[in-house]
Amino acid sequence: MKDSNKSLIYAGLSVLSWSTVATAFKLALRLQTHFEMLLIASCTALVILAIVMTFQSKWGSLTLLSAKQWLLYALIGLLNPAIYYLVLFKAYALLPAQIAQPINYSWPILLLILIAIVSHQPIPRRKYIGMALSLGGVILISAGSGQIQQSAIPVAGLLLAFLSALLWAGFWIVNKMNQNIDNTVNLFVIFLFGSVYLLIASLFVPVNLTSTNGFLASMYIGAFEMAIPFIFFSLALKKTNNPVLINQLCYLAPFTSLFIIHLVLKEHIYTTTFIGLILIIVGIIFNEYFAGSGRTK
């Protein structure tokens, strides 16, 4: 099989995996707290990454990391998975999946703002168009769905979903410092620290892991949100001669996710959600490919 075809298969598997996790979040949260869910998911991801490390004979790469890099990973692991996913899962606990997922997906717009702040460089004027489109989509999803349901959408949930996008953007910036480190090694060390933090926290936070279905759902999240799709997506980028196409395939995930949310969770997908998501994606694509310099990927 040609490498180009392999890359499409790997990318497709990643997109399919990410498309299912919003639904998995809600199913797991019916049976566990957001902390219990993250504890199991993070440890599951760590085990999977350890297996991949063994299969790819990359354990020796850990000895090449400097003390400064280990300290940086200690910070990154606290940011993600520990803080980021605690915030994200709590947002899902408070909001319908069709609202939490698109708002979280607005992170590239927040990344653009953070990069401008960190680099002390102004945002190119044309990129304000994309930012306005995406933020307009967030507002439409946040306000429109509540009005249609004639019920109040928790403000705390909306703020947490937005904060999760901000945290992921911050994680992207910090983790960019490790761009020369192998992707599997990078992910393993991140989840090593994150899992250690969560295990320590479990000594002080009440944990009840008696629900078998909840445990399995959280394991699924660790596998198909945190570990496997990132490994496949990295392989897709290595195999392809068209990385732009591979990156663009990611934009299919939130739309496919809405279909799965409707099918499994029985959430009625409101018109405002769909239109808002389109605005978010269009804004991101505009800034990524049509607004000149200062790309985020």
pLDDT in tens, 267-284: 988 888 989 999 999 999
Compute the distance between CA of residue 296 and CA of residue 167 in angstroms, rounded to an integer. Answer: 15
Q: 210 lies in a domain? A: yes
Residue 297 lies in a domain: no
Cα 289 to its chain centre, rounded Å, is: 21
Structure confidence by residue, pLDDT tens digits, 79-123 = 999 999 999 999 999 999 999 999 999 999 899 899 999 888 888
Residues 223-239: pLDDT tens digits?
A: 999 999 999 999 998 88
Residue 71 lies in a domain: yes
pLDDT at 21 over 90: yes
In a domain, 150, yes or no: yes
**CA distances in angstroms from 104 to 10, 48, 74, 138, listed in the order given:** 24, 25, 24, 9
In terms of Cα–Cα distance, which of 12, 22, 86, 77 is closest to 221? 22
Of all helices (H) and strands (E), which one includes residue 107? helix 107-119
293 pLDDT more than 60? no
Residue 75 domain-assigned (yes or no): yes
SS3 261: helix
Residue 11 near residue 246, CB atoms below 8 Å: yes
* Per-residue pLDDT at 263: 96
Angle at alpha carbon of residue 152, lines to 140 and 28, rounded to 5° = 90
pLDDT value at residue 294: 44
From CA 77, how far away is CA 237, in angstroms rounded? 24
144-182 pLDDT tens trace: 655 545 466 788 999 999 999 999 999 999 999 888 899
| In-domain check, residue 295 | no
Distances (CA, A) of 63 to 47, 60, 67, 179, 276: 19, 6, 10, 17, 47
Into how many domains does the chain fold?
1
Rounded distance between C-alpha atoms, residue 139 and residue 124, angstroms: 23
Check if the beta carbon of residue 253 is closer than 8 Å to that of residue 225: no
Question: Domain range for residue 205?
Answer: 3-290
Q: How far apart are CA 225 and CA 97, in angstroms?
A: 15
- Confirm whether 296 is domain-assigned: no
Q: Where are the alpha helices (DSSP H) in 211-260?
A: 212-221, 228-239, 243-249, 253-260
